[in-house]
Amino acid sequence: MNASEHRKFGFLRVAVAAPELRVGDPAFNAARISESLERLAGEGCEVAVFPELSLTGYTAADLFFQRPLLEAALAALATVAGATAGTACAAAVGLPLEVDGRLYNCAALVAGGRLLGIVPKTFLPTSQEYYEERWFARAATLGRDVVRIGEADVPIGADLLFEITDRRHACLGIEICEDLWTVEPPSGRQALAGATLLLNLSAGDELLGKAGYRRDLVRQQSARCLAAYAYAGSGAGESSTDYVCSGHGILAENGAVLAETREFAFESAETFADFDLERLAHERLNNSSFSAETAARFRRVRFALGEGATSPGALRHPVAPQPFVPADPTQRAANCREIFAIQETGLARRLRHTGSAKAVLGLSGGLDSTLAALVALRALEKLGRPASDLVTIVMPGPGSTGRTQTNATDLAAALGATLRVIPIAPAVAQHLADIGHPEGAHDATYENAQARERTQILMDVANQVGGIVVGTGDLSESALGWCTFNGDHMSMYHVNAGVPKTLVRHLVEWCAEEEFADPVSALLRDIAATPISPELLPLDAKDGLVQKTEETVGPYELHDFFLFQTIRCGFGPAKILALAEIAFEGRHTRAEILRWLRVFVTRFFANQFKRSSMPDGPKVGTVALSPRGDWRMPSDASAAAWLAEIEGLTP
């Protein structure tokens, strides 16, 4: 990703660093910070965060009262500010600062060769190994908004935010160490006022178990604030008179840790990541807390970074090719377990409420209907009902293969479900003849007649047995409109409504591994390996499939990626294409991605009318398309703006 795209798509490269340190030697520390800045700027970093009191060392103790140290710290600050000249990298460093006879523990932001502003620490720890109130005053005691530093009047105060005018959505809030550990961290108010990137200059010591707690604190604050959070902890160069520092640096975004360093090293330790500020801005637009809360008043310091001499190169932000499916097997299994529990509980609640005697579903031998059958079985078990109360109907048609039909009937038997086999070919042929459809015309009418015939059978059988029809279609099919309106689009409860196609297979495989034993598990593994097809077109001369869904509508791994980036992140086609190229490098070409992205956008807009009348079904993840819940969209909305952006992208 080049520098122009990096900026255009709202990424900001941020670093945390713990340079080599000598306590009480600001000149040495400024030199090491400047060297670190040079390296980080060379990596394309645009903001670098250094530890609390990084110009003097946090553990200088009563040396903070010494005039030579305070004056040397100001000289060191000028050195670091000068190091940012000619770069596109801002830096936050810590120093003690005397103002009106009081000493403050401060963070200073420098960029473009100048000092932009100073933020004093709000909360001062004074217990156990910490004794800050011996030396420093709280930010609340500050009696001015501007302080004279050298020849310049510089904004000072805990009410400062720093807005980078030439970086999208980039607004910086600063807090210092203990500020994060308090009941109401200043970063919360900063986020509500518009800060998307929160910087924490820290000097916390290391204790048994503290690193994990600190990591969770940073991660959770980034989630709570819907923000990026950069935490820079002091390194091993701090005095070890009473404790040790490790140089713990953490970069977190909206609840996820992107990068981390904790090396207990005397040498400089650095790490960086690209924060997706555009996604954070989208998250806030969709969060009622940000629209309902009254933002505290902050003064804004605005500055520009310029283009910089270095391209950011490879994106330092995770881009998962399957955003709905965790790469880690343990986490994936945990997610499957939770999703399955949500599905079975939702269906059990509906069966209990309606007093239905049976759960009725069409079993095709494919992934979706298999998952629905397994969910229905467990829902009945939850209600203390026998497996025979699950009525499965296998309805072979002209495109049904022997493999899927055998798997369907064998699965019903292995589960102990009631099985009915009702061929639909004669009824469909009669219907098509009745409406004067040309024989041999295998068009949409031909395909949809089969889906509607199956739905009619399911509805009527449900009436016969006093049951409800359990829908089998999934989230991806709903997004693409890959279902027949008033056919498989309809049911009395849609258990897979919130499950994307890429996750359905993993859920079935998880059931095979953890929920069921042979012969059910063996059948589930074979079903998971079966090509995806609606089986609506006649088989070839060798009884083989001629209709494979992904050859017609496109790879589901791409469509699920597009769905996540569009709905969850609010991204436009250009950014989705750029991210897809990273995620699917070596698997799909740019031209292929662009082709199927056009299909996705076209189908997503054209098929909203189906989603507007979709049945009830449980939400299981952060992306859902229920018109009663997450997604409200006019059925006649135009895709023109999205398609125009796609047309402007080169294959």
The closest alpha carbon to 64, from 78, 53, 79, belongs to 53
Give the whole-angstrom CA distance, residue 604 versus residue 554.
13
Give all strands of the β-sheet with 418-421 in edge-to-edge order: 418-421, 390-394, 358-362, 467-471, 493-494
To the query of whether residue 121 is one of the catalytic residues in this protein, the response is yes
Q: What is the CA radius of gyration of the chain?
A: 30
Give the whole-angstrom CA distance, residue 354 versus residue 159.
57
Pick left, alpha or beta for residue 305 (phi over 0 → left; psi -120 to 50 → alpha; otherwise beta): alpha
Instruction: Name the active-site residue from 20, 45, 46, 52.
Output: 52
Q: Tell me 568's DSSP state.
A: I
Record the tokens describing residue 88, joined without a space: 């596109």
Instruction: Name the active-site residue from 45, 89, 177, 336.
Output: 177
Four-residue CA torsion sign, 359, 345, 510, 473: positive
To the query of whether residue 515 is one of the catalytic residues in this protein, the response is no
- Across the chain, which distance is largest between two alpha carbons, in Å? 100
Q: Tell me 61's DSSP state.
A: G
Residue 22 CB coordination number (10 Å): 14
Give the whole-angstrom CA distance, residue 432 versus residue 452.
12
Q: Supply the DSSP string of 172-208, one letter for each residue.
A: EEEEETHHHHSSS-HHHHHHHTT--EEEEE--PPP-T
Q: Are 10 and 169 in contact (CB under 8 A)?
A: yes
Instruction: Name the active-site residue from 20, 89, 121, 569.
Output: 121
What angle do helix axes 425-434 and 444-465 make, rounded to 10 degrees?
A: 120
Q: Are 496 and 471 in contact (CB under 8 A)?
A: yes
To the query of whether residue 177 is one of the catalytic residues in this protein, the response is yes
Place of tokens 């970063």: 187
Cα torsion through 349, 352, 353, 355, rounded to 10: 150
Record the tokens describing residue 591, joined without a space: 């031209």
Number of residues in the chain: 651
Q: Are 434 and 326 in contact (CB under 8 A)?
A: no
The closest alpha carbon to 575, from 327, 315, 324, belongs to 315
Residues designated as active site? 52, 121, 177
